[in-house]
Amino acid sequence: MILKFTIDDMFVISIVTQANNLIILDSFLPTKREIKGLVEYVDVDMKLGDLILKKLILCNTIAGTVICSVIAEKEGEPVTSREIAERVQKVVLQELSRVE
């Protein structure tokens, strides 16, 4: 099952299978990291409660480099409602806003 939620003009996409629950989140968080090219994929393994961040997608923009998307895996209750999607988005964006 694939669910798409729009929260604050950003998408939260939940892909729910019997094996796992993958989440793709839009973001626009500035970072000091410089990248070559337009897009760079960064493997991470950051645990945030019942979330495990798997990959950050960095994008070059006129404003500089930003974290433009995040791929995470959610343990336990899958993201099947807007309320859960909002909670997941809030946790991820708050934590990543601390990253340089």
pLDDT at residue 3 is higher than 70 = yes
Maximum C-alpha span of the chain? 41
pTM here is 0.89
The answer as to whether 64 is a domain residue is: no
Using a pLDDT cut of 70, give the percent of the chain over it: 99
Instruction: Give me the pLDDT at residue 21, please.
Output: 92
The answer as to whether 50 is a domain residue is: yes
Instruction: Give me the domain span that covers residue 78.
Output: 2-26+41-57+71-96
The answer as to whether 15 is a domain residue is: yes
The answer as to whether 82 is a domain residue is: yes
The tokens describing 64, both together, are: 């500089």
- Cα separation, 84 vs 77, in Å, equals 9
Strand blocks (E) in 8-93: 10-16, 21-30, 39-48, 51-61, 64-74
Q: How many domains does the chain have?
A: 1
The answer as to whether 66 is a domain residue is: no
Q: What is the pLDDT of residues 14-61, one digit of tens each?
A: 999 888 899 999 999 999 988 999 999 999 999 999 999 999 999 999
